[in-house]
Structure 1
Amino acid sequence: MLSITKSFHFEAAHRISDYDGACQYLHGHSYKLEVTISGKEMVKGDMLMDFKILKSLVNKIAIEPWDHALILKDNEINHSEFDHLNGKTYWMETEPTAERMVLHLSEQLAGLLPQGFSVRRVKLYETDSCFAEYENIH
């Protein structure tokens, strides 16, 4: 199966509200995101998919909502502490760990891909040496 990968960068702050340690406090990351999609057939121009299309999809579901945002779990304690802030907040059903963000993005992207394409891999770096990765091995 043929695959293509596109890399992205974004800045965001988050906190893990149900964590006993430094990550319970508001902090930020310079995230690096790599998204790989696979398909069986190439389209016009001998491309699996135009990189511009993949970029547009990922921008819509991840970069635009997450870049320069505060990403938080939608719970009472976070609302009480952060609702008063002016700025961009992205509320998640789960804690915004790299693992949950990767799963969230993978699920949303899978729902937007044309028939015959699949999400092969999503890798999200919080730092140069720490990342979470989803890989579809089917």
Structure 2
Amino acid sequence: MKIRITKKFDFEAGHALYGYDGKCKNLHGHSYKLVVTVIGSPITTPTHVKQGMVIDFGDLKRIVNEQIIQQFDHAMMLNSNTPHIQLLEELKAQGHNVIALPYQPTSENLVADFAKRIKQQLPPEVSLYSVRLHETESSYAEWCADDNE
């Protein structure tokens, strides 16, 4: 029997899309909503402390907090290829949380990166099913395991 477990997370972050031809080329921020779903079989060992669980929600929360939230919350995300790299370095030197990413910080690229980070930390008996990243209330990108295997 396979069961899916889902946990939601919120974080604030800013970004700018280098070379983009619209408003998102400018520095701006979002109230991101991250929805992580894993799948697995509940533990059936009667003496196991986590009997009946696919994964403890607290363990999933710890993984996502360590791999994503602690790093990206209240950060400014920029493509490391931006010509504004000097500005990025100046902001870092002043103590600002600025992340230079090896990709354009779109929702699509972020959700793929987040999925990779989460997958690497899950116990072997639990699989990542999907990751959804809402950039706004009405816009999101979603990574699904079925589409990526």
- TM-score, shorter chain, exceeding 0.5: yes
Write out aligned runs for 1:1-138 (5 A). 1-42=2-43, 44-85=50-91, 86=94, 87-137=96-146
* TM-superposition CA deviations, 1:78-133 (whole Å, max 9, x none): 31232211300122110110000100010111111111211101000010000000
Q: Distance in 1 between matches of 2:6 and 2:132?
A: 10
* TM-superposition CA deviations, 1:24-67 (whole Å, max 9, x none): 11000000000001113426231111000000000011100000
| Aligned AA (1:38) | I
Q: Distance in 1 between matches of 2:140 and 2:67?
A: 19
1:76 is displaced (CA, Å) by 4.6
SS in 2 for 1:108: helix
1:136 is displaced (CA, Å) by 1.0
Structure 1 runs of 4+ aligned residues shifted over 6 Å read none
SS in 2 for 1:107: helix
Contact 2:55 2:126 in 1 (8 A): no
Q: How many residues align?
A: 138
Contact 2:16 2:77 in 1 (8 A): yes
Q: Distance in 1 between matches of 2:43 and 2:73?
A: 31
**TM-score normalised per structure 1:** 0.94
| Aligned AA (2:81) | N
Q: Distance in 2 between matches of 1:15 and 1:76?
A: 10
Larger radius of gyration: 2
Contact 1:71 1:91 in 2 (8 A): yes
| Aligned AA (1:90) | I
Contact 1:16 1:24 in 2 (8 A): yes
Aligned-CA RMSD value: 1.4
